[in-house]
């Protein structure tokens, strides 16, 4: 892969990723010395009109030269790209790549002139817990009338009449009892799927947003967990269904009793529907919330004691929200309040605590959802998990997993994988990529160990990719010990704390090493992203910050590769993980999936 002019939104290329209006920002581009041109220019919009600024060489090197220009920022959202002009040369560099033809601004680099995302997420690794399946303390004996109790050591029955009512009895006291396992792994954040009372084990049908579910131990267990987790340096991310509530919610009960109540305005009413209201995906159990209601907006996020504000306040201490089906929130038929609600939730969180994190499910479906003003990031299915599954593809009959396709997974090569990633990355600001949740699987998908048909080496190669790629990595509880599962409910298996003979402890040890690298190496915390080699079966990329440069190698199977860094002016000087290698040219020869993480200078 030929070295080409490069820019991304990281600290090496943009002097301030979150400037104020009127502030000057230095934009830089790195150009290989064998790339011949006469002038480099920055093209930036001012009030919707493109302006051109000529760049100057600032830092010549043996292999590459830096060009830069200082530009005043006048708008909230700033779209820009670079032009290289010379004799017979006319090329544009945008966030998608280098092109020798005119391109549209849809893939321009983006800079947003508002406060930056929380600094702490840059060095965070999260651990996703489905509360009913992680650990059972025995301290909670409540069994609700909807529940069908299930023995802890049995697998979920998966697809049947009582799927969402199978209750294993995991609780927050159980989580507290096993926090040492989480800290041993090295992660410093926990993302919980919903903890509010509901009529299901997944709790996405909340019957209240005011308290923690008593069968999880209630507010007392939650406060105890928050306190203990804080002492261990672990932040807690909550899960909120802003799109809908459950049919058991008191809002719906009040709305049915009194058509003049404010709660009646919270829903969409339709006499042609058997139960009289619009449900999400037509489900009676999940009444859709109507954000044309000012009273609902006040209750959900605007009011002083609103749901969004309450749980991230100092009293309760959540570090932010993951928003369920954030892409559908505020949208219903001809009504579209989506942008107002999305930005309203963001603003509410900023009012209470600007250091909270707002990440949304399926915010990766529309680029505008991640323009920097609403959701800070997405659960990155579209730009990471989905293409990575398609690339590694050991189990094509696995469907779901947000593939969104009614047929087996396609098999793609490395070039197609990186093209998919660039397609997603190029449509959003850099800050939205680095604030997105990177994941190999989740409570809604098959387990990755099953995706690769039990291949530990392929799994660790994938973990290497996830823990070195830009974003906030998230490990689904149990993945670190090799848990399996063929679809969402099947993947929601319990962890056997009494008998660890089934745990993949060698894998756990390797994941722990990688988590430590992700949290401590500056290039993985603050670095940009440059692709060095993209072949059918392996990938090589750089993460470069002001303090450090790291090279990553990942293959999906047996591989013989030759990597030449001479055009980048780099030598491998230290091995952080994987085979011991040195020099500017090296070979990787492996009989199985493999990976390497090296410092280059």
What mean pLDDT do residues 196-202 have? 98
The CA distance from 551 to 523, in Å, is: 10
Query: In the structure, what pLDDT confidence band is assigned to residue 395 with cuts at 50, 70 and 90?
Result: confident
Q: Which two tokens stand for residue 521?
A: 């190496």
- Split at pLDDT 50, 70, 90, the class of 404 is low
Q: What is residue 144's DSSP assignment?
A: -
Q: Which tokens is 109 given? A: 């680099």
Percent of the chain with pLDDT over 70: 99
Counting every residue written for the chain, the total comes to: 601
Query: In 56-171, which ranges are E strands?
Result: 56-60, 64-72, 77-86, 89-94, 97-99, 109-112, 126-129, 148-149, 166-167
518 neighbors 527 (Cβ within 8 angstroms): no
In angstroms, the CA 545 to CA 17 distance is 14
Domains of the chain (ranges; CATH) run 24-112 (2.60.40.10), 125-240+299-378+396-404+425-523 (3.20.20.80), 244-288 (no CATH), 527-600 (2.60.40.1180)
Task: Give the pLDDT band of residue 234 (cuts 50, 70, 90).
Answer: very high
Cβ within 8 Å of residue 535, ≥6 positions away: 413, 414, 415, 561
**pLDDT tens digits for 99-142?**
999 999 999 999 999 999 999 999 999 999 999 999 999 999 99
Rounded average pLDDT over 405-429: 93
* Listed residue (504, 514, 506) closest to 475, CA to CA: 514
Name the residue with tokens 């995991």. 170
Pairing of strands 77-86, 109-112: antiparallel
Q: Is the dihedral of CA 162, 165, 171, 172 positive or negative?
A: positive
pTM above 0.75, yes or no: yes
Chain mean pLDDT for the chain = 96
pLDDT at 400 over 60: no
What backbone torsions phi and psi does residue 38 show, to the nearest 5 degrees?
-110, -40
**pLDDT value, residue 401:** 47
Report yes or no: 175 and 139 within 8 Å, Cβ to Cβ. no
Handedness of CA 302, 307, 311, 314 (dihedral sign): positive
Q: How confident is the model at residue 421 (pLDDT cuts 50, 70, 90)?
A: very high
Q: What percent of the chain has pLDDT above 90?
A: 95
Residue 402 has a pLDDT of 52
* Position 157 pLDDT exceeds 80: yes
Secondary structure class of 63 (helix, strand, coil) = coil
The closest alpha carbon to 212, from 249, 252, 243, 172, belongs to 172
Q: In the chain, count of helices (H) and strands (E)?
A: 16, 28
pLDDT, tens digit (0-9, with 9 covering 90-100), for 521-571: 999 999 999 999 999 999 999 999 999 999 999 999 999 999 999 999 999
- Supply φ then ψ for residue 473, to 5 degrees: -65, 145
578: left (phi over 0), alpha (psi -120 to 50) or beta: left
CA gap 173, 226 in Å, rounded: 11
Quick one: average pLDDT of 336-360? Answer: 98
For 290-317, write each residue's pLDDT tens digit.
999 999 999 999 999 999 999 999 999 9
pLDDT tens digits along 338-349: 999 999 999 999
Write down the pLDDT at residue 262: 98
pLDDT beyond 70 at 178: yes
What lies within 8 Å, CB to CB, of 367 at 6+ separation is 106, 427, 428
* CB contact burial 467-488 (16+ within 10 A = b; e otherwise): bbbbbbbbbbbbbbbbbbbbbb
Kindly report, residue by residue over 471-491, the tens digit of the pLDDT: 999 999 999 999 999 999 999
What are the angstrom distances between the C-alpha of 21 and each of 26, 113, 118, 368? 14, 6, 20, 21
Name the nearest CA neighbour of 376 among 21, 105, 120: 120
pLDDT digits (tens, 9 = 90+) for 65-89: 999 999 999 999 999 999 999 999 9
Cβ atoms within 10 Å of 351's Cβ, excluding its own: 13
**Residue 156 burial (C-beta neighbours within 10 Å; 0-12, 13-18, 19+):** buried
Per-residue pLDDT band for 406 (boundaries 50, 70, 90) equals confident
**Residues 6+ away with beta carbon under 8 Å from 478:** 447, 493, 495
């Amino acid at each position: 892969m030929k070295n080409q002019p490069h820019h991304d939104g990281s600290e090496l290329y943009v002097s301030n990723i979150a400037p104020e209006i009127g502030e000057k920002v230095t934009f830089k581009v790195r150009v290989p010395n064998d790339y011949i041109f006469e002038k480099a220019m920055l093209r930036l919009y001012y009030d919707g009109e493109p302006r051109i600024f000529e760049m100057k060489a600032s830092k010549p090197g043996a292999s590459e030269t830096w060009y830069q220009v200082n530009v005043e920022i006048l708008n909230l959202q700033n779209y820009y790209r670079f032009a290289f002009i010379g004799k017979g040369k006319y090329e544009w560099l945008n966030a998608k790549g280098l092109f020798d033809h005119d391109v549209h601004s849809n893939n321009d680099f983006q800079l947003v002139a508002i406060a930056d995302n929380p600094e702490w997420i840059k060095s965070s690794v999260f651990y996703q817990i489905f509360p009913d399946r992680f650990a059972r303390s025995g301290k909670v004996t409540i069994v609700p009338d909807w529940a069908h109790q299930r023995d802890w050591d049995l697998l979920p029955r998966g697809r049947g009449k009582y799927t969402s009512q199978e209750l294993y009895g995991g609780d927050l006291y159980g989580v507290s009892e096993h926090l040492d396992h989480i800290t041993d792994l090295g992660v410093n954040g926990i993302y919980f799927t919903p903890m509010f009372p509901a009529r299901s084990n997944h709790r996405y049908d909340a019957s209240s947003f005011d308290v923690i579910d008593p069968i999880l131990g209630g507010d007392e267990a939650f406060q105890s967990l928050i306190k203990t987790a804080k002492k261990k340096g672990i932040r807690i991310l909550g899960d909120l269904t802003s799109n809908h509530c459950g049919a058991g919610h008191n809002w719906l009960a009040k709305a049915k009793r009194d058509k003049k109540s404010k709660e009646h305005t919270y829903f969409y009413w339709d006499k042609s529907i058997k139960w009289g209201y619009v449900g999400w995906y037509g489900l009676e159990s999940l009444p859709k919330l109507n954000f044309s209601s000012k009273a609902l907006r006040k209750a959900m996020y605007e009011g002083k004691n609103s749901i969004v504000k309450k749980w991230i306040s100092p009293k309760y201490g959540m570090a932010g929200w993951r928003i369920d089906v954030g892409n559908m929130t505020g949208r219903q038929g001809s009504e579209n309040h989506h942008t107002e609600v999305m930005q309203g939730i963001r603003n509410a969180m900023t009012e209470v605590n600007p250091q909270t994190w707002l990440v949304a499910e399926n915010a990766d479906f529309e680029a505008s959802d991640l323009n920097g003003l609403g959701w800070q990031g997405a659960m990155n299915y579209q730009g990471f998990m989905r293409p990575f599954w398609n690339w590694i593809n050991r189990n094509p009959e696995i469907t779901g997993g947000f593939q969104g396709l009614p047929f087996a997974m396609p098999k793609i090569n490395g070039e197609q994988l990186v093209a998919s990633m660039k397609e997603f990355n190029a449509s959003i600001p850099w800050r939205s990529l680095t604030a997105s949740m990177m994941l190999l699987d989740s409570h809604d998908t098959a387990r990755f160990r099953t995706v690769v048909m039990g291949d530990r080496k392929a799994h660790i190669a994938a973990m290497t990719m996830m823990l070195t790629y830009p974003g906030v990595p998230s490990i689904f509880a149990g993945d670190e010990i090799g848990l399996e599962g063929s679809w969402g409910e099947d993947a929601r298996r319990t962890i056997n704390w009494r008998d660890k003979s089934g745990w993949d402890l060698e894998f756990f040890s390797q994941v722990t090493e990688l988590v430590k690298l992700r949290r401590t190496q500056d290039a993985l915390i603050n670095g940009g992203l440059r692709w060095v080699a993209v072949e059918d079966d392996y990938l090589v990329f750089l993460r470069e910050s002001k303090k450090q440069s790291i090279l990553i190698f990942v293959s999906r199977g047996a591989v013989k590769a030759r990597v030449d860094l001479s055009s980048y002016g780099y030598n491998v000087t230290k091995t952080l993980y994987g085979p011991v290698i040195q020099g500017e040219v090296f070979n990787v020869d492996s009989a199985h999936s493999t990976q390497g993480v090296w410092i280059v200078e």
